[in-house]
Structure 1
Amino acid sequence: MKRIGVLTSGGDSPGMNAAVRAVVRKAIFHDMEVYGVYNGYSGLISGNIKKLELGSVGDIIHRGGTMLYSARCEEFKTKEGQQKGIEQLKKFGIEGLVVVGGDGSYRGAKALTEHGFPCIGVPGTIDNDIPGTDYTIGFDTALNTVIDAVDKIRDTATSHDRAFIIEVMGRDAGDIALWAGLAGGAETILIPEVGYDMDEIAARLKSGHERGKKHSIIMVAEGVCSGVEFSKQIKEATDLDTRVSVLGHIQRGGSPTAADRVLASRLGAFAVELLLQGKGGRAVGIEKNELIDHDIIEILTRKHSVNQSMYNLSKELSI
Protein backbone atom coordinates (compact mmCIF):
# COMPACT_ATOMS: atom_id res chain seq x y z
CA MET A 1 0.00 0.00 0.00
CA LYS A 2 1.58 3.26 -1.15
CA ARG A 3 -1.15 5.86 -0.86
CA ILE A 4 -3.63 6.30 2.00
CA GLY A 5 -6.20 8.84 3.13
CA VAL A 6 -7.25 10.20 6.50
CA LEU A 7 -10.48 11.93 7.54
CA THR A 8 -12.16 13.10 10.73
CA SER A 9 -15.90 12.79 11.08
CA GLY A 10 -18.76 13.52 13.46
CA GLY A 11 -18.31 15.65 16.56
CA ASP A 12 -14.78 16.99 16.96
CA SER A 13 -12.70 16.03 19.97
CA PRO A 14 -9.40 17.34 21.38
CA GLY A 15 -6.60 15.12 20.11
CA MET A 16 -7.96 14.57 16.60
CA ASN A 17 -5.19 16.77 15.24
CA ALA A 18 -2.60 14.71 17.08
CA ALA A 19 -4.06 11.57 15.49
CA VAL A 20 -3.98 13.11 11.99
CA ARG A 21 -0.38 14.19 12.58
CA ALA A 22 0.57 10.65 13.62
CA VAL A 23 -1.10 9.12 10.58
CA VAL A 24 0.66 11.51 8.19
CA ARG A 25 4.13 11.28 9.71
CA LYS A 26 4.04 7.53 10.31
CA ALA A 27 2.97 6.96 6.71
CA ILE A 28 5.61 9.29 5.27
CA PHE A 29 8.24 7.59 7.44
CA HIS A 30 7.34 4.38 5.61
CA ASP A 31 7.50 6.07 2.18
CA MET A 32 3.75 6.29 1.73
CA GLU A 33 1.76 9.23 0.38
CA VAL A 34 -1.06 10.63 2.53
CA TYR A 35 -4.13 12.54 1.40
CA GLY A 36 -6.36 14.49 3.75
CA VAL A 37 -10.10 14.30 3.21
CA TYR A 38 -11.62 17.59 4.31
CA ASN A 39 -15.09 17.92 5.90
CA GLY A 40 -15.55 14.24 6.66
CA TYR A 41 -17.67 11.99 4.45
CA SER A 42 -19.24 15.06 2.85
CA GLY A 43 -15.80 16.05 1.58
CA LEU A 44 -15.15 12.49 0.48
CA ILE A 45 -18.24 12.56 -1.73
CA SER A 46 -17.37 15.97 -3.20
CA GLY A 47 -13.68 15.16 -3.69
CA ASN A 48 -12.35 17.75 -1.24
CA ILE A 49 -9.10 15.84 -0.96
CA LYS A 50 -5.54 17.21 -0.82
CA LYS A 51 -2.10 15.69 -0.46
CA LEU A 52 -0.52 16.21 2.97
CA GLU A 53 3.21 16.70 3.58
CA LEU A 54 5.25 16.74 6.77
CA GLY A 55 4.77 20.48 7.07
CA SER A 56 1.01 20.15 6.62
CA VAL A 57 0.72 18.74 10.12
CA GLY A 58 3.35 20.87 11.81
CA ASP A 59 2.33 22.84 14.90
CA ILE A 60 -1.04 21.08 15.33
CA ILE A 61 -0.40 18.48 18.05
CA HIS A 62 -1.43 20.95 20.76
CA ARG A 63 -4.52 22.31 19.01
CA GLY A 64 -8.09 21.27 19.71
CA GLY A 65 -10.66 20.64 16.99
CA THR A 66 -9.57 19.15 13.68
CA MET A 67 -7.55 20.73 10.87
CA LEU A 68 -9.42 18.50 8.41
CA TYR A 69 -12.75 19.86 9.67
CA SER A 70 -15.82 17.72 10.16
CA ALA A 71 -19.40 17.56 8.94
CA ARG A 72 -22.48 15.41 9.23
CA CYS A 73 -23.39 13.70 5.97
CA GLU A 74 -26.77 12.07 5.48
CA GLU A 75 -25.95 11.24 1.86
CA PHE A 76 -23.14 8.91 2.87
CA LYS A 77 -25.67 6.73 4.68
CA THR A 78 -26.99 5.72 1.25
CA LYS A 79 -25.32 3.23 -1.09
CA GLU A 80 -25.28 5.88 -3.80
CA GLY A 81 -23.38 8.26 -1.54
CA GLN A 82 -20.96 5.54 -0.50
CA GLN A 83 -20.29 4.70 -4.13
CA LYS A 84 -19.54 8.35 -4.88
CA GLY A 85 -17.01 8.31 -2.05
CA ILE A 86 -15.33 5.17 -3.35
CA GLU A 87 -15.11 6.69 -6.83
CA GLN A 88 -13.30 9.70 -5.38
CA LEU A 89 -10.88 7.44 -3.51
CA LYS A 90 -10.13 5.58 -6.73
CA LYS A 91 -9.75 8.86 -8.62
CA PHE A 92 -6.99 9.94 -6.22
CA GLY A 93 -5.43 6.48 -6.15
CA ILE A 94 -6.04 6.10 -2.43
CA GLU A 95 -5.75 2.46 -1.39
CA GLY A 96 -6.70 2.64 2.30
CA LEU A 97 -8.44 5.06 4.63
CA VAL A 98 -8.04 6.00 8.31
CA VAL A 99 -11.25 7.32 9.85
CA VAL A 100 -11.04 9.22 13.14
CA GLY A 101 -14.38 9.66 14.90
CA GLY A 102 -17.16 8.07 16.91
CA ASP A 103 -20.00 5.67 16.32
CA GLY A 104 -21.37 7.34 13.18
CA SER A 105 -17.88 7.60 11.69
CA TYR A 106 -17.33 3.91 12.32
CA ARG A 107 -20.55 3.11 10.51
CA GLY A 108 -19.25 4.95 7.47
CA ALA A 109 -15.97 3.01 7.68
CA LYS A 110 -17.95 -0.21 8.04
CA ALA A 111 -19.89 0.62 4.85
CA LEU A 112 -16.67 1.19 2.92
CA THR A 113 -15.29 -2.07 4.32
CA GLU A 114 -18.36 -3.95 3.11
CA HIS A 115 -17.78 -2.44 -0.33
CA GLY A 116 -14.30 -3.97 -0.26
CA PHE A 117 -12.35 -0.81 0.59
CA PRO A 118 -9.80 -1.12 3.46
CA CYS A 119 -10.60 1.19 6.37
CA ILE A 120 -9.23 1.53 9.89
CA GLY A 121 -11.34 3.20 12.58
CA VAL A 122 -9.65 5.34 15.25
CA PRO A 123 -11.88 6.22 18.26
CA GLY A 124 -12.19 10.00 18.51
CA THR A 125 -15.06 11.23 20.72
CA ILE A 126 -15.31 12.94 24.09
CA ASP A 127 -18.12 10.58 25.16
CA ASN A 128 -15.81 7.56 25.64
CA ASP A 129 -18.61 5.39 24.25
CA ILE A 130 -16.80 3.27 21.64
CA PRO A 131 -16.55 -0.44 22.58
CA GLY A 132 -13.20 -2.17 22.15
CA THR A 133 -11.10 0.50 23.84
CA ASP A 134 -10.67 1.67 27.42
CA TYR A 135 -10.46 5.31 26.33
CA THR A 136 -11.34 7.39 23.30
CA ILE A 137 -9.40 10.38 22.02
CA GLY A 138 -10.72 13.56 23.65
CA PHE A 139 -12.31 12.01 26.72
CA ASP A 140 -9.50 12.94 29.11
CA THR A 141 -9.42 16.55 27.90
CA ALA A 142 -13.19 16.95 28.17
CA LEU A 143 -13.10 15.42 31.63
CA ASN A 144 -10.48 17.88 32.81
CA THR A 145 -12.45 20.77 31.31
CA VAL A 146 -15.51 19.69 33.30
CA ILE A 147 -13.50 19.25 36.51
CA ASP A 148 -12.06 22.74 36.17
CA ALA A 149 -15.60 24.13 35.87
CA VAL A 150 -16.85 22.05 38.81
CA ASP A 151 -14.07 23.36 41.05
CA LYS A 152 -15.00 26.96 40.19
CA ILE A 153 -18.73 26.31 40.64
CA ARG A 154 -18.07 24.71 44.03
CA ASP A 155 -16.53 27.98 45.25
CA THR A 156 -19.63 30.02 44.49
CA ALA A 157 -21.99 27.25 45.60
CA THR A 158 -20.35 27.23 49.03
CA SER A 159 -20.46 31.02 49.30
CA HIS A 160 -24.22 31.11 48.73
CA ASP A 161 -25.35 27.83 50.33
CA ARG A 162 -26.83 26.43 47.12
CA ALA A 163 -27.26 23.21 45.22
CA PHE A 164 -25.75 23.39 41.74
CA ILE A 165 -26.94 21.18 38.89
CA ILE A 166 -24.24 20.81 36.25
CA GLU A 167 -25.37 19.45 32.90
CA VAL A 168 -22.64 17.75 30.86
CA MET A 169 -22.55 16.02 27.49
CA GLY A 170 -23.49 12.37 27.17
CA ARG A 171 -26.64 11.57 25.24
CA ASP A 172 -26.33 7.80 25.46
CA ALA A 173 -23.22 7.39 27.59
CA GLY A 174 -22.62 8.70 31.09
CA ASP A 175 -18.83 8.44 31.32
CA ILE A 176 -18.21 12.19 31.45
CA ALA A 177 -20.81 12.68 34.18
CA LEU A 178 -19.62 9.64 36.15
CA TRP A 179 -15.89 10.35 36.03
CA ALA A 180 -16.29 14.09 36.57
CA GLY A 181 -18.82 13.50 39.35
CA LEU A 182 -16.52 11.12 41.18
CA ALA A 183 -13.45 13.33 40.69
CA GLY A 184 -15.37 16.47 41.64
CA GLY A 185 -17.01 15.03 44.74
CA ALA A 186 -20.57 15.34 43.42
CA GLU A 187 -23.32 14.31 45.81
CA THR A 188 -25.49 12.94 43.01
CA ILE A 189 -24.65 11.64 39.54
CA LEU A 190 -27.31 10.97 36.91
CA ILE A 191 -26.33 8.87 33.89
CA PRO A 192 -28.38 7.31 31.06
CA GLU A 193 -27.32 3.77 31.93
CA VAL A 194 -28.80 3.83 35.46
CA GLY A 195 -32.20 5.04 36.62
CA TYR A 196 -32.55 7.37 39.59
CA ASP A 197 -34.78 7.55 42.64
CA MET A 198 -35.90 11.13 43.34
CA ASP A 199 -36.89 10.32 46.92
CA GLU A 200 -33.43 8.93 47.65
CA ILE A 201 -31.73 11.97 46.12
CA ALA A 202 -33.96 14.36 48.07
CA ALA A 203 -33.29 12.52 51.33
CA ARG A 204 -29.53 12.68 50.78
CA LEU A 205 -29.63 16.41 50.00
CA LYS A 206 -31.82 17.17 53.01
CA SER A 207 -29.58 15.10 55.28
CA GLY A 208 -26.49 16.99 54.15
CA HIS A 209 -28.22 20.34 54.53
CA GLU A 210 -29.37 19.50 58.06
CA ARG A 211 -25.88 18.60 59.19
CA GLY A 212 -24.58 21.96 58.01
CA LYS A 213 -23.36 21.11 54.51
CA LYS A 214 -22.99 24.39 52.64
CA HIS A 215 -23.39 23.18 49.07
CA SER A 216 -24.31 20.26 46.84
CA ILE A 217 -23.07 19.38 43.37
CA ILE A 218 -25.37 17.35 41.15
CA MET A 219 -23.93 16.04 37.86
CA VAL A 220 -26.48 15.33 35.11
CA ALA A 221 -25.69 13.73 31.75
CA GLU A 222 -27.77 15.40 29.03
CA GLY A 223 -29.21 12.02 28.01
CA VAL A 224 -31.06 11.75 31.34
CA CYS A 225 -32.76 15.13 31.29
CA SER A 226 -31.87 18.79 31.06
CA GLY A 227 -30.29 20.52 34.03
CA VAL A 228 -33.19 23.00 34.10
CA GLU A 229 -35.74 20.20 34.23
CA PHE A 230 -33.92 18.41 37.04
CA SER A 231 -33.54 21.67 38.96
CA LYS A 232 -37.33 21.99 39.01
CA GLN A 233 -37.63 18.44 40.35
CA ILE A 234 -35.12 19.19 43.12
CA LYS A 235 -36.92 22.40 44.06
CA GLU A 236 -40.25 20.58 44.35
CA ALA A 237 -38.77 17.72 46.39
CA THR A 238 -36.53 19.68 48.77
CA ASP A 239 -37.25 23.42 48.47
CA LEU A 240 -33.48 23.96 48.31
CA ASP A 241 -32.11 26.97 46.45
CA THR A 242 -30.71 25.67 43.14
CA ARG A 243 -28.74 27.01 40.18
CA VAL A 244 -28.02 25.37 36.84
CA SER A 245 -24.84 25.40 34.75
CA VAL A 246 -24.97 23.87 31.25
CA LEU A 247 -21.36 23.40 30.14
CA GLY A 248 -22.26 22.66 26.51
CA HIS A 249 -19.67 22.75 23.74
CA ILE A 250 -16.93 24.11 25.98
CA GLN A 251 -16.35 20.42 26.72
CA ARG A 252 -15.24 19.76 23.14
CA GLY A 253 -12.73 22.56 22.90
CA GLY A 254 -9.32 23.36 24.26
CA SER A 255 -5.80 22.09 23.95
CA PRO A 256 -5.67 18.30 24.39
CA THR A 257 -4.11 16.94 27.56
CA ALA A 258 -0.82 15.05 27.43
CA ALA A 259 -2.77 11.81 27.87
CA ASP A 260 -4.93 12.54 24.81
CA ARG A 261 -1.93 13.59 22.70
CA VAL A 262 -0.10 10.38 23.53
CA LEU A 263 -3.19 8.22 23.00
CA ALA A 264 -3.95 9.86 19.66
CA SER A 265 -0.35 9.50 18.51
CA ARG A 266 -0.23 5.81 19.40
CA LEU A 267 -3.59 4.97 17.84
CA GLY A 268 -2.97 6.99 14.67
CA ALA A 269 0.40 5.35 14.08
CA PHE A 270 -1.03 1.90 14.84
CA ALA A 271 -3.76 2.43 12.23
CA VAL A 272 -1.07 3.01 9.60
CA GLU A 273 0.77 -0.12 10.71
CA LEU A 274 -2.37 -2.19 10.11
CA LEU A 275 -2.77 -0.75 6.61
CA LEU A 276 0.90 -1.53 5.91
CA GLN A 277 0.14 -5.13 6.88
CA GLY A 278 -2.67 -5.16 4.31
CA LYS A 279 -5.41 -5.16 6.94
CA GLY A 280 -8.71 -3.34 6.63
CA GLY A 281 -12.05 -3.33 8.37
CA ARG A 282 -10.40 -2.94 11.76
CA ALA A 283 -11.00 -0.62 14.71
CA VAL A 284 -8.02 0.24 16.89
CA GLY A 285 -8.12 0.81 20.63
CA ILE A 286 -6.21 0.54 23.86
CA GLU A 287 -6.86 -1.94 26.65
CA LYS A 288 -4.71 -2.11 29.79
CA ASN A 289 -2.27 0.26 28.02
CA GLU A 290 -1.77 -2.20 25.14
CA LEU A 291 -2.72 -1.37 21.55
CA ILE A 292 -5.35 -3.73 20.16
CA ASP A 293 -7.59 -3.98 17.12
CA HIS A 294 -11.00 -5.54 16.51
CA ASP A 295 -13.19 -6.25 13.54
CA ILE A 296 -15.00 -2.95 12.96
CA ILE A 297 -18.26 -4.72 12.09
CA GLU A 298 -18.09 -6.72 15.32
CA ILE A 299 -17.39 -3.54 17.32
CA LEU A 300 -20.60 -1.96 16.05
CA THR A 301 -22.65 -4.89 17.35
CA ARG A 302 -21.44 -4.26 20.90
CA LYS A 303 -23.09 -1.91 23.34
CA HIS A 304 -21.25 0.58 25.48
CA SER A 305 -21.40 -0.23 29.18
CA VAL A 306 -20.72 1.97 32.16
CA ASN A 307 -18.32 1.06 34.97
CA GLN A 308 -20.88 -0.08 37.55
CA SER A 309 -18.36 -0.43 40.38
CA MET A 310 -17.29 3.19 39.87
CA TYR A 311 -20.91 4.31 39.94
CA ASN A 312 -21.48 2.37 43.18
CA LEU A 313 -18.36 3.94 44.67
CA SER A 314 -19.61 7.43 43.85
CA LYS A 315 -22.79 6.74 45.85
CA GLU A 316 -20.84 5.31 48.79
CA LEU A 317 -18.59 8.36 48.96
CA SER A 318 -21.41 10.89 48.68
CA ILE A 319 -23.15 10.01 51.95
Structure 2
Amino acid sequence: MVAIGYTMMTEQAGPRELVDHVVGAERAGFDFSVTSDHYSPWLDSQGHAPYAWSVLGAAAQATTRIPLMTYVTCPTTRYHPTVVAQKAATMQLLSEGRFRLGLGSGENLNEHVVGNGWPAAHVRLEMLEEAVDIIHALFAGENVNHHGTHFDVENAKLWDLPRTPPPIGVAVSGKRSCGIAGRLADLMIATEPRSQLIEDFEEHGGAGKPKIGQVPVCFDTDRDAAIARAHDQFRWFAGGWKVNSELPGTEGFAGATQFVRPEDVAESIPCGNDVDRFVEAVRPYVEAGFTEVALIQVGGDHQKPYLEWAERKLLPALRELRPS
Protein backbone atom coordinates (compact mmCIF):
# COMPACT_ATOMS: atom_id res chain seq x y z
CA MET A 1 0.00 0.00 0.00
CA VAL A 2 1.37 3.41 -0.97
CA ALA A 3 1.79 5.92 1.88
CA ILE A 4 -0.03 9.23 1.30
CA GLY A 5 1.50 12.47 2.49
CA TYR A 6 0.49 16.07 3.01
CA THR A 7 2.51 19.05 1.74
CA MET A 8 3.02 22.18 3.83
CA MET A 9 3.42 24.53 0.87
CA THR A 10 5.32 27.52 2.23
CA GLU A 11 4.61 29.51 -0.95
CA GLN A 12 0.87 29.73 -0.28
CA ALA A 13 0.42 30.26 3.48
CA GLY A 14 1.99 32.04 6.43
CA PRO A 15 3.90 30.22 9.19
CA ARG A 16 1.10 29.93 11.76
CA GLU A 17 -1.35 28.74 9.14
CA LEU A 18 1.12 26.11 7.90
CA VAL A 19 1.43 24.66 11.39
CA ASP A 20 -2.36 24.59 11.74
CA HIS A 21 -2.55 22.79 8.38
CA VAL A 22 -0.15 20.01 9.35
CA VAL A 23 -1.96 19.54 12.65
CA GLY A 24 -5.12 19.08 10.59
CA ALA A 25 -3.32 16.66 8.28
CA GLU A 26 -2.23 14.56 11.24
CA ARG A 27 -5.81 14.53 12.53
CA ALA A 28 -7.12 13.56 9.09
CA GLY A 29 -4.84 10.53 8.98
CA PHE A 30 -2.15 11.43 6.44
CA ASP A 31 0.82 9.08 6.72
CA PHE A 32 3.56 11.71 6.53
CA SER A 33 4.17 15.35 5.66
CA VAL A 34 6.68 17.28 3.59
CA THR A 35 7.60 20.96 3.53
CA SER A 36 8.90 23.12 0.71
CA ASP A 37 11.90 25.32 1.53
CA HIS A 38 11.78 28.46 -0.62
CA TYR A 39 12.88 32.06 -0.32
CA SER A 40 10.26 33.14 -2.86
CA PRO A 41 6.97 31.89 -4.27
CA TRP A 42 6.85 31.00 -7.96
CA LEU A 43 4.06 33.49 -8.66
CA ASP A 44 2.97 36.68 -6.91
CA SER A 45 -0.53 35.26 -6.49
CA GLN A 46 0.81 32.62 -4.08
CA GLY A 47 2.00 35.40 -1.83
CA HIS A 48 4.13 33.70 0.87
CA ALA A 49 7.58 32.35 1.69
CA PRO A 50 8.21 31.97 5.44
CA TYR A 51 11.38 30.30 6.72
CA ALA A 52 10.68 26.59 6.44
CA TRP A 53 12.93 25.51 9.31
CA SER A 54 11.13 27.70 11.85
CA VAL A 55 7.83 26.28 10.60
CA LEU A 56 9.19 22.74 10.96
CA GLY A 57 10.32 23.38 14.53
CA ALA A 58 6.87 24.66 15.45
CA ALA A 59 5.24 21.73 13.64
CA ALA A 60 7.39 19.28 15.58
CA GLN A 61 5.97 20.66 18.82
CA ALA A 62 2.37 20.95 17.59
CA THR A 63 2.15 17.36 16.30
CA THR A 64 2.84 13.97 17.87
CA ARG A 65 2.65 11.32 15.15
CA ILE A 66 3.06 12.59 11.61
CA PRO A 67 6.58 12.40 10.12
CA LEU A 68 8.11 15.67 8.87
CA MET A 69 10.44 16.22 5.93
CA THR A 70 12.02 18.90 3.77
CA TYR A 71 10.95 18.57 0.12
CA VAL A 72 13.54 19.82 -0.59
CA THR A 73 16.37 21.84 0.92
CA CYS A 74 19.33 22.93 -1.19
CA PRO A 75 22.51 22.48 0.91
CA THR A 76 24.90 24.24 -1.46
CA THR A 77 24.21 27.94 -2.01
CA ARG A 78 21.77 29.69 0.31
CA TYR A 79 22.78 27.27 3.09
CA HIS A 80 26.18 25.76 3.80
CA PRO A 81 26.04 21.96 4.31
CA THR A 82 27.36 22.26 7.88
CA VAL A 83 24.41 24.49 8.77
CA VAL A 84 21.94 22.13 7.09
CA ALA A 85 23.37 19.23 9.11
CA GLN A 86 22.93 21.20 12.35
CA LYS A 87 19.35 22.17 11.49
CA ALA A 88 18.43 18.62 10.54
CA ALA A 89 19.95 17.11 13.68
CA THR A 90 18.03 19.62 15.80
CA MET A 91 14.81 18.81 13.98
CA GLN A 92 15.33 15.10 14.58
CA LEU A 93 15.66 15.80 18.31
CA LEU A 94 12.66 18.14 18.44
CA SER A 95 10.44 15.71 16.54
CA GLU A 96 11.69 12.69 18.52
CA GLY A 97 12.81 10.83 15.44
CA ARG A 98 10.11 11.89 12.97
CA PHE A 99 12.28 13.97 10.62
CA ARG A 100 13.73 13.16 7.21
CA LEU A 101 16.13 15.47 5.40
CA GLY A 102 15.21 15.87 1.75
CA LEU A 103 17.96 17.50 -0.33
CA GLY A 104 18.19 18.75 -3.89
CA SER A 105 20.39 20.77 -6.23
CA GLY A 106 18.17 23.84 -5.90
CA GLU A 107 16.44 26.46 -8.01
CA ASN A 108 17.74 29.84 -9.11
CA LEU A 109 14.51 31.33 -7.76
CA ASN A 110 15.66 30.77 -4.18
CA GLU A 111 19.42 30.46 -4.31
CA HIS A 112 20.34 33.61 -6.27
CA VAL A 113 19.50 35.81 -3.28
CA VAL A 114 22.94 35.37 -1.67
CA GLY A 115 24.63 36.83 -4.76
CA ASN A 116 26.98 33.97 -5.60
CA GLY A 117 25.59 33.37 -9.09
CA TRP A 118 23.82 30.29 -10.40
CA PRO A 119 26.09 27.42 -11.46
CA ALA A 120 25.49 25.14 -14.43
CA ALA A 121 23.47 21.98 -13.79
CA HIS A 122 26.48 19.63 -13.75
CA VAL A 123 28.27 21.88 -11.24
CA ARG A 124 25.18 21.97 -9.03
CA LEU A 125 25.20 18.16 -8.89
CA GLU A 126 28.91 18.14 -8.00
CA MET A 127 28.13 20.57 -5.18
CA LEU A 128 25.22 18.46 -3.99
CA GLU A 129 27.31 15.29 -3.86
CA GLU A 130 30.07 17.01 -1.89
CA ALA A 131 27.50 18.54 0.48
CA VAL A 132 25.86 15.16 1.19
CA ASP A 133 29.28 13.68 2.05
CA ILE A 134 29.88 16.50 4.54
CA ILE A 135 26.44 16.05 6.12
CA HIS A 136 26.99 12.30 6.46
CA ALA A 137 30.30 12.89 8.26
CA LEU A 138 28.69 15.32 10.69
CA PHE A 139 25.77 12.96 11.32
CA ALA A 140 28.35 10.27 12.16
CA GLY A 141 29.68 12.47 14.98
CA GLU A 142 32.96 13.24 13.30
CA ASN A 143 35.02 16.37 13.85
CA VAL A 144 35.05 17.50 10.22
CA ASN A 145 37.82 19.34 8.41
CA HIS A 146 37.17 19.41 4.70
CA HIS A 147 38.75 21.32 1.84
CA GLY A 148 37.01 20.22 -1.34
CA THR A 149 36.23 21.51 -4.79
CA HIS A 150 33.25 23.57 -3.65
CA PHE A 151 33.23 23.70 0.17
CA ASP A 152 35.56 24.34 3.07
CA VAL A 153 34.79 23.12 6.57
CA GLU A 154 36.94 24.03 9.55
CA ASN A 155 36.74 21.97 12.73
CA ALA A 156 32.98 21.36 12.61
CA LYS A 157 31.13 19.03 14.97
CA LEU A 158 27.47 18.58 15.87
CA TRP A 159 27.12 18.86 19.63
CA ASP A 160 23.43 17.95 19.79
CA LEU A 161 23.26 14.79 17.75
CA PRO A 162 20.30 12.38 17.78
CA ARG A 163 20.98 8.73 18.44
CA THR A 164 19.51 7.95 15.01
CA PRO A 165 20.40 10.61 12.43
CA PRO A 166 17.62 11.74 10.10
CA PRO A 167 17.41 9.68 6.90
CA ILE A 168 18.63 11.61 3.88
CA GLY A 169 16.63 11.85 0.66
CA VAL A 170 17.98 13.18 -2.63
CA ALA A 171 15.81 14.64 -5.39
CA VAL A 172 16.40 13.07 -8.81
CA SER A 173 15.59 14.05 -12.37
CA GLY A 174 18.06 12.05 -14.47
CA LYS A 175 20.69 9.35 -14.47
CA ARG A 176 23.42 11.30 -12.70
CA SER A 177 21.24 12.50 -9.83
CA CYS A 178 19.85 8.95 -9.51
CA GLY A 179 23.42 7.73 -9.13
CA ILE A 180 24.09 10.22 -6.32
CA ALA A 181 20.84 9.25 -4.59
CA GLY A 182 21.47 5.53 -4.97
CA ARG A 183 24.98 5.75 -3.51
CA LEU A 184 24.52 8.34 -0.79
CA ALA A 185 20.83 8.63 0.15
CA ASP A 186 18.39 6.60 2.21
CA LEU A 187 15.47 7.45 -0.08
CA MET A 188 14.68 8.90 -3.51
CA ILE A 189 12.61 12.01 -4.21
CA ALA A 190 11.03 12.86 -7.57
CA THR A 191 8.23 14.94 -9.05
CA GLU A 192 7.70 12.81 -12.16
CA PRO A 193 6.28 9.26 -12.19
CA ARG A 194 9.02 7.85 -14.41
CA SER A 195 9.95 4.24 -13.77
CA GLN A 196 13.36 4.88 -15.36
CA LEU A 197 14.26 7.08 -12.39
CA ILE A 198 13.56 4.20 -10.04
CA GLU A 199 15.52 1.77 -12.20
CA ASP A 200 18.54 4.09 -12.25
CA PHE A 201 18.24 4.70 -8.50
CA GLU A 202 18.10 0.98 -7.73
CA GLU A 203 20.95 0.22 -10.12
CA HIS A 204 23.23 2.44 -8.03
CA GLY A 205 22.28 1.09 -4.60
CA GLY A 206 18.70 2.22 -4.06
CA ALA A 207 17.02 -1.19 -4.10
CA GLY A 208 14.62 -1.57 -1.19
CA LYS A 209 14.78 2.12 -0.25
CA PRO A 210 11.69 4.39 -0.18
CA LYS A 211 10.77 6.33 -3.32
CA ILE A 212 8.72 9.48 -2.74
CA GLY A 213 6.74 11.40 -5.36
CA GLN A 214 4.54 14.49 -5.24
CA VAL A 215 1.26 15.39 -6.95
CA PRO A 216 -0.55 18.78 -6.98
CA VAL A 217 -4.34 18.64 -6.59
CA CYS A 218 -7.01 21.29 -6.25
CA PHE A 219 -10.10 20.30 -4.26
CA ASP A 220 -13.23 22.43 -4.40
CA THR A 221 -16.93 21.59 -4.60
CA ASP A 222 -17.01 24.05 -7.53
CA ARG A 223 -14.75 22.56 -10.23
CA ASP A 224 -14.57 25.80 -12.22
CA ALA A 225 -13.37 27.63 -9.11
CA ALA A 226 -10.76 24.93 -8.54
CA ILE A 227 -9.49 25.23 -12.11
CA ALA A 228 -9.29 29.01 -11.83
CA ARG A 229 -7.34 28.77 -8.57
CA ALA A 230 -4.97 26.12 -9.92
CA HIS A 231 -4.31 28.26 -13.00
CA ASP A 232 -3.78 31.39 -10.92
CA GLN A 233 -1.33 29.83 -8.46
CA PHE A 234 0.08 26.67 -10.01
CA ARG A 235 0.40 27.13 -13.77
CA TRP A 236 4.20 27.32 -13.28
CA PHE A 237 4.08 23.55 -12.70
CA ALA A 238 3.75 22.99 -16.46
CA GLY A 239 7.25 24.36 -17.11
CA GLY A 240 9.15 21.27 -16.06
CA TRP A 241 12.28 21.05 -13.93
CA LYS A 242 14.81 22.17 -16.56
CA VAL A 243 12.96 25.45 -17.03
CA ASN A 244 11.78 26.00 -13.46
CA SER A 245 15.23 25.54 -11.94
CA GLU A 246 16.68 28.38 -14.05
CA LEU A 247 14.13 31.21 -13.70
CA PRO A 248 15.23 33.86 -11.17
CA GLY A 249 11.96 35.39 -9.92
CA THR A 250 8.19 35.64 -9.99
CA GLU A 251 8.26 37.94 -13.03
CA GLY A 252 10.13 35.27 -14.98
CA PHE A 253 7.60 32.61 -14.03
CA ALA A 254 4.72 34.92 -14.93
CA GLY A 255 6.24 35.56 -18.34
CA ALA A 256 7.08 31.91 -18.98
CA THR A 257 3.51 30.83 -18.18
CA GLN A 258 1.54 33.67 -19.78
CA PHE A 259 0.19 31.39 -22.51
CA VAL A 260 -0.75 28.48 -20.23
CA ARG A 261 -4.55 28.20 -20.31
CA PRO A 262 -6.87 27.10 -17.50
CA GLU A 263 -7.81 24.02 -19.52
CA ASP A 264 -4.10 23.14 -19.82
CA VAL A 265 -3.78 23.21 -16.05
CA ALA A 266 -6.94 21.14 -15.62
CA GLU A 267 -5.42 18.41 -17.79
CA SER A 268 -2.40 17.99 -15.50
CA ILE A 269 -3.88 18.83 -12.07
CA PRO A 270 -7.08 17.13 -10.84
CA CYS A 271 -9.57 19.84 -9.96
CA GLY A 272 -12.93 19.63 -8.19
CA ASN A 273 -14.22 16.88 -5.91
CA ASP A 274 -14.30 13.80 -8.13
CA VAL A 275 -12.37 11.22 -6.08
CA ASP A 276 -11.65 9.12 -9.15
CA ARG A 277 -9.82 12.00 -10.85
CA PHE A 278 -7.55 12.40 -7.83
CA VAL A 279 -6.89 8.66 -7.62
CA GLU A 280 -5.97 8.55 -11.31
CA ALA A 281 -3.46 11.38 -10.79
CA VAL A 282 -1.67 9.30 -8.15
CA ARG A 283 -1.89 5.99 -10.00
CA PRO A 284 1.11 6.57 -12.34
CA TYR A 285 3.39 6.88 -9.31
CA VAL A 286 2.10 3.63 -7.87
CA GLU A 287 2.51 1.88 -11.22
CA ALA A 288 6.07 3.22 -11.56
CA GLY A 289 7.04 1.78 -8.17
CA PHE A 290 6.91 4.76 -5.82
CA THR A 291 6.26 3.82 -2.21
CA GLU A 292 5.06 7.23 -0.99
CA VAL A 293 3.20 10.11 -2.63
CA ALA A 294 2.75 13.57 -1.10
CA LEU A 295 -0.27 15.59 -2.23
CA ILE A 296 -0.27 19.39 -2.60
CA GLN A 297 -3.64 21.07 -2.13
CA VAL A 298 -3.46 24.27 -4.19
CA GLY A 299 -4.58 27.35 -2.26
CA GLY A 300 -3.55 28.31 1.25
CA ASP A 301 -7.09 29.37 2.16
CA HIS A 302 -8.63 26.07 1.07
CA GLN A 303 -6.91 23.56 3.33
CA LYS A 304 -9.59 22.91 5.97
CA PRO A 305 -12.35 21.72 3.60
CA TYR A 306 -9.77 19.72 1.66
CA LEU A 307 -8.55 17.96 4.80
CA GLU A 308 -12.09 17.12 5.87
CA TRP A 309 -12.88 15.72 2.41
CA ALA A 310 -9.59 13.84 2.27
CA GLU A 311 -10.26 12.15 5.59
CA ARG A 312 -13.75 11.03 4.57
CA LYS A 313 -13.28 10.17 0.91
CA LEU A 314 -9.86 10.62 -0.68
CA LEU A 315 -7.54 8.81 1.72
CA PRO A 316 -9.67 5.63 1.89
CA ALA A 317 -9.77 5.52 -1.93
CA LEU A 318 -6.04 6.10 -2.31
CA ARG A 319 -5.23 3.35 0.15
CA GLU A 320 -6.91 0.88 -2.17
CA LEU A 321 -4.37 1.65 -4.91
CA ARG A 322 -2.09 -1.24 -5.84
CA PRO A 323 0.30 -1.62 -8.78
CA SER A 324 -1.29 -3.68 -11.52
Query: Which structure is higher in RCO with an 8 Å CA cutoff and minimum separation 6?
Result: 1
Considering the TM-score relative to the shorter chain, is it more than 0.5?
no
Q: Which structure would you say has the larger Rg? A: 1
Normalised by the length of structure 2, the TM-score is 0.27
- The two structures have a TM-score, normalised by structure 1, of 0.27
